[in-house]
Amino acid sequence: MMKKKPKVAIITPGSFPIPSSCSSSVETVVEMQTNVLQNDIQFTVFGKKTKDLPSVDKQGNISYVRIIYRHWTRYLSKVITKLSKLNPDIIQIENRPKYIPLIRHKFQNALIILSLHSTMFISKSHIEKEALISNLHQADKIIVNSHFLKDYLIKLTDCDANKVIVNYLGVDTTQFQSKWSLNQINNKEKFIKQMNLAGRKIILFVGRLRKIKGIHKILQAMPSIIQAV
C-alpha cells in the first residue's frame, strides 16, 4: 500500500511571480525547495498572477495557483477561498507574519508554519510589535534561515525558542561547485582569461538592483576602494 503524500500549501507574499526569472529570493527558495521534495510531498504553491503565467499550472508534481495582486488582504482572501477546497495538512506562509491571523481564523486546526527570510517584515515599519507577538503566537512553528535571525526574533518578541527552527538555505551542488574543486579552478581561470580580468581586483554584487540591496553604497565607496587597492 502506497504511503499517502502530505498535502502542503505554500503561500508566497504575492509580490513576485513564481516560478519566474523575475522572482525575489523568497520565491526562488520556494521553487528550489519544492523541486527537491516534490516526489515526497504534494505541493500547491500560491503566488502572483502575471500576463505571462496562467492562473493554474502544474510543473512536475507541483501545482501553482496564481492570483492577481492589488492589495494583500484581497490577495489573501482569494487564497483562503482556494485553500478551503484544497484542505491541506500543512499551510506554510512565506515571510509575511501579518498573513497568519486570517489563515488561523479560517483554518483553526491546521498546522501553520511561518517561513521567515529576513528581519524586514518583522520590523516596526511593516508590523507593530504587539501585533507581531500575537501573530507569531498563532503559528505552530517558525522556520528561519540563520541562528542570527532566530536570536533576533526571540530577543524582539520573547517567543518560545523551541518554536523557532533554523533551516539553512544550503546550496545546489549540481549548479555551484566548491572553488577548490579542480573543475571549478579550471573554469575560473578560463573565465578570467575570457573576460580579460587577469591581475585585476574583482568585486561581485549578487542581488536585485534596488536601493534596499545597497548597490548604491558600493558605488559611493568605489573611489575609496580604488585608492585602497
Question: If the chain, 229 residues long, is cut into consecutive pieces of 10 residues, what is the mean pLDDT of each piece?
Answer: 84 95 92 94 97 95 96 96 94 98 94 97 96 97 97 97 94 79 82 90 83 89 88
Torsions phi, psi of 120, nearest 5? -60, -50
Helices (H), the chain: 25-37, 72-86, 100-106, 129-137, 147-157, 182-194, 215-228
- Give me the pLDDT at residue 82, please: 95
Q: Give the list of residues 6+ apart from residue 142 with CB closer than 8 angstroms, or none.
A: 113, 114, 116, 136, 153, 159, 163, 164, 165
Q: What is the pTM of this model?
A: 0.85
> Is 154 exposed, middle or buried, given 0-12, 13-18 or 19+ CB atoms closer than 10 A?
middle
pLDDT for 1 equals: 54
